[in-house]
Structure 1
């Protein structure tokens, strides 16, 4: 049997409710098993992103609460720190409270990861999705 550790986490009620609906729909026997699967997926994603090397192009999509204290200013400052990597940005007002920013990037994969990590760690950022493409010359025809 696998060694298990017990942990305790705090989650917003609505988030936990949505998670419980999904695990019910998917037929999980327990919340713990669903959380273990989610953590495995997170680890796999992290390892994949950190295995990328060389020149890449892609997008970083950020969803954030625009009411969060000075968050827009912090995001803009971070983007200016990586202006040599950022080709363009697109800003969208999703609703009264949330904005989406799509950042188009081109450059070294390590630096793209660094930018993504800095954006992800900002308080008020709700979701960050990195989508990286292979260089155009490496796409099979």
Structure 2
């Protein structure tokens, strides 16, 4: 097996080690391997391919110490055909939440979420995807 070196903040490393211990993993490498497999398979759902999808993406960040807000604005404009709605809220004294409503295909939504994941200093990212035809069948 190839050895890979990964840089991460001490706080994240401590959380990773605690998670491994609490959940019975043999070590951090096992946790990172499983997380990598899950991330890579996340949008590899054949049932969602070639279907119109609705997506909800929530991003939380500290606006005082980062430029994430500006990056979110650029993403919103770069993907204006995908982003059907957007909400920006202040949370507490120095946090912001971006809420994106998306409508498009799996590949485009996956790319959008991936770009947010790659944005340094986001504190959290949460999202869900629902096929539009599933919504139609509920009505």
Which category describes the TM-score, using the shorter chain as reference length? 0.7 to 0.9
Do the aligned partners of 2:91 and 2:97 also contact (CA within 8 Å) in 1?
yes
User: CA-atom RMSD, angstroms?
Assistant: 2.6
Unaligned runs of 5+ in 2: none
Q: How does 1:56-67 map to 2 (within 5 A)?
A: 56-67=53-64
Distance 2:28 2:114 in 1: 28
Q: How many residues align?
A: 136
TM-score normalized by structure 1? 0.76
CA distances 1:2-53 after superposition (whole Å, capped 9, x unpaired): xx1112222211111111111111111222222222222122214339x633
Aligned counterpart, 1:72: 69
CA distances 1:62-92 after superposition (whole Å, capped 9, x unpaired): 1223135543223112212333332322333
Change beyond 3 A, Cα 1:138–1:68: farther
Say whether residues 1:22 and 2:19 are aligned partners: yes
Distance 2:67 2:27 in 1: 39
Unaligned runs of 5+ in 1: none
TM-score normalized by structure 2? 0.77
Q: How does 1:9-48 map to 2 (within 5 A)?
A: 9-48=6-45
Do the aligned partners of 1:91 and 1:102 also contact (CA within 8 Å) in 2?
yes
Aligned partner of residue 47 in structure 1, secondary structure? coil
Aligned counterpart, 2:128: 131
Change beyond 3 A, Cα 1:52–1:138: farther
* Moved segments of 4+, more than 6 Å: none
